[in-house]
Amino acid sequence: MIIVLMGVLIVMPVIWPNASASPGVMRLGQGLVEATKKQLRYMAGGENLIHLCFMCDPFPIGVDHVPTLEIIKAIKKSGNNVKILTKGGKKAEKCFGLLDEDDWFGVTWSGAEFVGNAEPNVASHKERHESIVIANDVYGIKTWLSCEPVLDPNSIYAAIECFDTVDLFAIGKINYRSSTINWREFGHECERLCQKHGRNYIIKDSLRKEMENESIHS
């Protein structure tokens, strides 16, 4: 599926079982690559930042990633740039050779596995961090950490303090479910640490709203 929001192209892979592959292997929806190329004709040379992607993962486990790589090639050929968000870790590194200093590679950093809430079928936080380091240090790609949903505040604090190869921290909270986290305190501590360590950061609107609330939350 391809959606254009406020002039920004968001590519959302639609996935079906692959009858020709081994059991359990999935493939991207038929026609996605060609449909993306068609859409890109209207955005050629625009230097748009195209997101891959916020409603699914461009490098999921058990999926043929060739179409994802073809889409990245098409985006770059059209004169646009890519902003990737994934939990894929090492599997996502195959795209690094296609990216340059105008692109972004990011990973989701929720801290889930540190509080006994491991995410199924995704790379570990350790592996994700290793991929961020390689992207930045070896390939010169801009990197970012999407700290949302937040399940373990301490893992976010540690990342802000220690991850020198992250160019941007995008910090949110958790929505659509209950939490015992004091979001006001969490947000202010994240901002304090970012400023202390000279990090570039964005506080997402939902968290900023909590920070500006004078009442004490839990």
**What does the pLDDT look like over 97-147, one tens digit per residue?**
999 999 999 999 999 887 776 677 889 999 999 999 999 999 999 999 999
Share of the chain above pLDDT 90, in %: 57
Whether the predicted pLDDT of 25 surpasses 70: no
Q: How far apart are CA 126 and CA 57, in angstroms?
A: 18
Residue 16 β-bridge partners: 27
Helices (H), 165-204: 183-196
pTM: 0.84
- CA-based diameter of the chain, in Å? 58
Res. 69: pLDDT tops 50: yes
Task: Bin 157: left if φ > 0, else alpha if -120 < ψ < 50, else beta.
Answer: alpha
Residue 213 — φ and ψ, nearest 5°?
-80, 120
* Nearest-10 crossing angle of helices 153-162, 183-196: 10
**pLDDT at residue 183 greater than cutoff 80:** yes
The whole-angstrom separation of Cα 178 and Cα 174 is 8
Q: 76 pLDDT exceeds 80? A: yes
pLDDT in tens, 80-100: 999 999 999 999 999 999 999
